[in-house]
Every structure is written in structure tokens, then in C-alpha cells.
């Protein structure tokens, strides 16, 4: 079960966006595994993709298409990653684009394909193509809930959020969905996510906003340290509300987009494979933000820290060991102070006399745990969100292809 997370049912339609889901039989039985998102003509799009060099075929195609045309459709399948599939995989992704373009009366370059699922298996193009006519016939503005479910793989719950703000007297809606539970690590962060707004935003400004927001949200989460082959996040702006976002008024809009992305990013961690704890690693007093991120990631990625969290074992030595190996130049261990929740464990490198094991046990038994590390090196800070490693994490991944 996800940690303190429920499926958000209060999703708002976005003018200029229609969605349809279908069971194409790609991998799963009894559930939808194909999503088509239609964008109103003239919509602008921004996107970020995986930095994994072994990226999936749809990532390669989407990058190319986004650089050459304004997208009209996003095509997403679950159950098959179309990664590690070589030239046939690229041909398959392009064939799906051609088929949807013909049915949707647009150019193939206006289709952005996305896939998630098992790596190394060829995409069953014929199943995707056969499902497209029915998908186009069932496009609806209020299909966001079904969309959130259709893109799931090992997720136990759909991840979705809506937010509304007022810009220049016009109401602006932002709705987003995401999937992800394993292969999650900063470097764009591993997942698929689709966010849309009815505001009008220049593509360059939209991309700038997305880049900044991702650094504060999706790039601050990690579950297992594995950067996927298929990471993709799209932010689309249809311009249907009449609200125009520009450099002079984009602050509130960017904050709203960041709130949606923060919810979705943290929802991925809360639904981490086998997760029982939601953990915030808060690093303070670093020389700069990059250093704080390195320290936070090192602690968050430590299998020994994560398994101790699962066991509710206040073995704080594992945290200090992770800090010590975080490859920070001239680290002064006598400047480090450590808290578990509100319980002070280490002050300037020394165990505090007031600490007792039972105090740490109380903090570790919580399902949401804050680890705060004061480095005493400067004024920069950063937070990394992660989860524990349980028996179920091994089971889920050991049985993933069975």
C-alpha cells in the first residue's frame, strides 16, 4: 500500500485537452493499457526526457518530433517499454505515429509516442494500431482519472492532481497525471507524467518554467537509484482559457505548476515498490545547493539506511557513514549535527548525552520520517524524498517479468 496516499478523484478538465483509454492487450488483461491525449491545434509543448544513454525508441522519436512540429497527439502504452529494441523498435514507434496521424488527420511529426513496461521486448504495433480508431472515437475532456490508471505498471495507485489560479482576471486550470514506483532516481527522475493547462504560454517560456520546476520536484526524488530508459514529462498549454502567461506574470503560474509537480513527484515516492515509509532527507548548512543534493542523495540511496528505515531501527551510524562517503571535499565531521525528527542524535560530530535508543525508536516507527543533517559549511540546503527498502521491493522486482 502507498504511504499516506489516496487516488485523487478531484480532477478538473482542461479546455483543449481530450483523452481516451483502451485495453489494447499489450501486456495486461482486464485493464486499459493505451492512452491517447489530443491537444487543441496551436497548443505549445515543453518536455524533459531521460538522460540515460540507452534511451527507449519512443524517447528518441518524441525528442525529434517535438523539435520539428507542434504536437497534436500524445500516444502512451503501458506494459512494453520499447527499449533495447534497436532499429525495429524505432520503426515500431514511428509506425504507431504514422497510424495515429492518419486517423487523426495530422502529420506523423505531430505525434509524440511514449512507452513504459518491460525492456527488451518488441512493441506489438498491430495491437496499438488496431485500438486507435476506438480511442479517437472516445476522446473526452473528463477522462483524466482513466488516463492516470492506464499508464500504471507496478504502481498500486493512480497519481493525479488539479489546481486552479487566476491570472489577469482569467481562471487557469492545471491538471497532471504521473506513473512510477520503481526505477526512480534523479536525472530527470524516472516516470511518465503529462501535465496540461488552458493558459497560453510561449513554448520557450514554457520550457524554461518546466526545467526550473523539475529541478525542485522530480529531480529531488529517488527510490532505488536506477535511472530508467523511458523517462518523459510533457507540459502542454492549450491557450483556451484566454489567460496569457508571459515573463511579467509567470511567477504565480510557475508556482502552481510546481505544486502539481511536487504532489506527483512525492506521490511516486509514497507508492515506491514495497514502500512502508516516506522519508525526507533534509540537508542544511552546505556550501551550495549542489553539495546539499549530493549529500542528500547519498543518504537516500544507501541500502543500509533504507533497510534500517524498514526495520524501524534507529541505527544512526548508517546515516553518518553515508554522509561521510558522499565525496564532499574537506568534510569536517566535527561540524555535522544530526536529527531524527525532533530528536537530536549528534551535535557537532559528537553523540549527545540526552539521546536514548527509545527516543530514536519512536521516530523510526513513524510512517513519515524526517532526517535532518546540518553540515556547518555554509547556508545552502536541499531536500531529497525517498522511501525504505522492504521485502516486497525484492519480490516485486524478482517477479516483474513473470
Residues with catalytic roles? 190
Cβ of 60: how many Cβ atoms within 10 Å? Answer: 16
CB 279 within 8 A of CB 309: yes
Cβ of 333: how many Cβ atoms within 10 Å? Answer: 12
**Helix or strand or coil: residue 278?**
strand
- DSSP string computed for 349-380: TEE-TT--HHHHHHHHTSSEEEEEEE-SS-SE
**Helix or strand or coil: residue 255?**
helix
> What is the number of helices (H) and of strands (E) in the chain?
11, 17
DSSP state of 228: P
In angstroms, what CA-CA distances link 205 with 39, 107, 237, 294, 345?
19, 25, 11, 29, 45
Q: Which residues pair with 245 in a beta bridge?
A: 201
In angstroms, what CA-CA distances link 235 with 51, 74, 115, 336?
18, 11, 17, 40
In angstroms, what CA-CA distances link 271 with 158, 167, 398, 399?
9, 33, 18, 18
* Count of all residues that appear for the chain in the document: 402
**What is the CB-side half-sphere exposure of residue 260 using CA atoms within 13 A?**
28
Amino acid at each position: 500500500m502507498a504511504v499516506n496516499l489516496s487516488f485523487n478523484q478531484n480532477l478538473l478538465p482542461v479546455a483543449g485537452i481530450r483523452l481516451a483509454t483502451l485495453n489494447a492487450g499489450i501486456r495486461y488483461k482486464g485493464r486499459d493499457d493505451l492512452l491517447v491525449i489530443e491537444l487543441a491545434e496551436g497548443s505549445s509543448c515543453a518536455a524533459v526526457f531521460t538522460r540515460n544513454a540507452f534511451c527507449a525508441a519512443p524517447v528518441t522519436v518524441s525528442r525529434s518530433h517535438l523539435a520539428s512540429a507542434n504536437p497534436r497527439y500524445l500516444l502512451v502504452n503501458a506494459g512494453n517499454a520499447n527499449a533495447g529494441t534497436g532499429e525495429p523498435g524505432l520503426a515500431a514507434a514511428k509506425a504507431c505515429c504514422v497510424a495515429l496521424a492518419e486517423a487523426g488527420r495530422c502529420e506523423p511529426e505531430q505525434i509524440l509516442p511514449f512507452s513504459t513496461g518491460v525492456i527488451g521486448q518488441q512493441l506489438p504495433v498491430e495491437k496499438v494500431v488496431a485500438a486507435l480508431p476506438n480511442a479517437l472515437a472516445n476522446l473526452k475532456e473528463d477522462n483524466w482519472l482513466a488516463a492516470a490508471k492506464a499508464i500504471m505498471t507496478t504502481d498500486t495507485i493512480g497519481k493525479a492532481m488539479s489546481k486552479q489560479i487566476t491570472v489577469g482576471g482569467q481562471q487557469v486550470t492545471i491538471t497532471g497525471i504521473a506513473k512510477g514506483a520503481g526505477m526512480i532516481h534523479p536525472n530527470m527522475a524516472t516516470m511518465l507524467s503529462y501535465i496540461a493547462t488552458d493558459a497560453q504560454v510561449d513554448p520557450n517560456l514554457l520550457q524554461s518554467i518546466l526545467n526550473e520546476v523539475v529541478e525542485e520536484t522530480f529531480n529531488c526524488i529517488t527510490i532505488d537509484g536506477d535511472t530508467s530508459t523511458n523517462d518523459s514529462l510533457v507540459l502542454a498549454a492549450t491557450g483556451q482559457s484566454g489567460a496569457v502567461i508571459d515573463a511579467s506574470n509567470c511567477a504565480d503560474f510557475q508556482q502552481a505548476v510546481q505544486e502539481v509537480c511536487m504532489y506527483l513527484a512525492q506521490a511516486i515516492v509514497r507508492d515506491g515498490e514495497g514502500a512502508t515509509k516516506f522519508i525526507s532527507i533534509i540537508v542544511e548548512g552546505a556550501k551550495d545547493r549542489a553539495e546539499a543534493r549530493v549529500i542528500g542523495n547519498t543518504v537516500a540511496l544507501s541500502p543500509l539506511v533504507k533497510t534500517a528505515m524498514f526495520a524501524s531501527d534507529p541505527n544512526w551510524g548508517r546515516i553518518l557513514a553515508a554522509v561521510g562517503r558522499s565525496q564532499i571535499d574537506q568534510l569536517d565531521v566535527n561540524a555535522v549535527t544530526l536529527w531524527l525528527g525532533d530528536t537530536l542524535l549528534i551535535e557537532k560530530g559528537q553523540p549527545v548525552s540526552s539521546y536514548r535508543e527509545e527516543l530514536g525508536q519512536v521516530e523510526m516507527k513513524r510512517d513519515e520520517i524526517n532526517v535532518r543533517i546540518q553540515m556547518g559549511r555554509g547556508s545552502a540546503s536541499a531536500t531529497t524524498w525517498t522511501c525504505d527498502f522492504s521485502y516486497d521491493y525484492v519480490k516485486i522486482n524478482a517477479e516483474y517479468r513473470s
